[in-house]
Structure 1
């Protein structure tokens, strides 16, 4: 798995912190890691972006962006408003392939959900994943509404013949409600893919040292971690 595409079921689901956890776990396993942000929106030219945050939390990773736009909008809209060229899936695929030639693992982080538009023609992160033939990791929220968005995302991936590696819950609270506890069981069923981890709420606020130490415990072995889905489900039901 030299390239892994990471998307979310929507915005603010913990995608960047999950990307950092995957990177930290891979680094702890002795792998070299690069993080590619396909389209960074909502930051100025000299501000820190999502890839920089991944590096802060995870450690020594190579970071890169394909495009950056100042408005916190979908990439196509942000590019239009800024009068800048739109992101092209081919550019994302080419950048990822170049990084893969020099790293054990390349994490390609999208912007928002799988079908957020890159350009006016409707190109998306899914198109870049198709070009790369790379597996996709979906980051989901734990609460009400997540089953619908997770299933829609998984159906789109399958319709394109793409592999859904699994689902990670991007922010698991200390006191989950009934819907969240039930969703731990239902998410793998609706997605048709395993639950591969759950990050604790506030994980991104940990010190980098604590984050790197704890990250493998949030992710399954498929992502270089030690987390076990069945044990987590049992704790959630308790």
Structure 2
């Protein structure tokens, strides 16, 4: 599995931290890792973007940010308003494929959800996954409402013939409510794919050494970790 496309059921749900955790787990196994951010929005020139956050948390990775737009909007809208050229799926796929020839693992982190537009022609991260024939890892929130968003994302993937690798909860609460606890069992059914990890709330604020030490414990073996869905679900009730 040379390339994984990381998407979410929405925005601000932990995609970047999950990407960092997958990268950290791979690095701990001695694998080389690259991270591609097709379009970074809402970040000014000189400010750290998502790939910089991943590198700070995970360690020695190769980073590629293909486009940057200043306003915190969907990539197509942000590019249009800035008068800049939008990023295209072929450009993203080409960059990821090149890095895949030089690294053991390439992670392509989208912006927002799966069908957020890159350009005014309607291209999305789903088109990138299709060009790469890469599996898609879905990051979802823990609580109420996540089942519908996860099911819709899974349906969109199936409609396009794309493989869903699984689901990771992007921010597991310190004190999970009933909905979050029940969703541990219900998310795989909604997704039609396995639950592959839960990243604890606040993980992105950890010191890098703590983050790297914890990453494998948050992710299932398929993502390079040792987290067990059954044991975790039983433990939280």
Q: TM-score, normalised by structure 1?
A: 0.99
- What is the CA deviation profile of residues 85-114 of structure 1, one whole-angstrom value per residue up to 9, with x for unaligned ones? 011000010010011110000000000000
Distance, in Å, in 2 between the alignment partners of 1:35 and 1:129 is 14
- Secondary structure of the 1:231 match is helix
2:138 partner SS: strand
Aligned residue number for residue 30 of structure 1: 30
Separation of aligned partners in 1, 2:46 and 2:12: 23
Partner of 2:62: 62
CA deviation vs aligned residue, 1:172-198 (integer Å, no higher than 9, x gap): 011100111111110000100000000
Q: Deviations over 1:142-193 (max 9, x none)?
A: 0111000100000111111111000000000111001111111100001000
Q: Would you say 1:113 and 2:89 are equivalent positions?
A: no
Q: Any residues of structure 2 matched to 1:56-95 within 5 Å, and which?
A: 56-95=56-95
**1:31-62 deviation line (CA, Å, top 9, x unaligned):** 00000001100111211100000000000000
Q: In structure 2, what is the Cα distance between the partners aligned to 1:59 and 1:42?
A: 24
May I ask how many residue pairs the two structures share in their alignment? 237
Deviation at 1:121, TM superposition (A): 1.2
Aligned to 2:47: 47
Secondary structure (helix, strand or coil) at the match of 2:134 reads coil
Correspondence for 1:135? 135
- Where 1:106 maps in the other structure, the secondary structure is strand
CA distance in 2, matches of 1:38, 1:155: 23
Match in the other structure for 1:176? 176
Instruction: Compute the TM-score of the two structures, normalised by the length of structure 2.
Output: 0.99
Q: Which residue of 1 aligns with 2:235?
A: 235
Deviation of 1:28 after TM superposition, in Å, equals: 0.3
Alignment partner of 1:48: what SS?
coil
Q: RMSD in angstroms over aligned alpha carbons?
A: 0.5
Q: Give the 3-state SS of the residue equivalent to 1:17 in structure 2.
A: helix
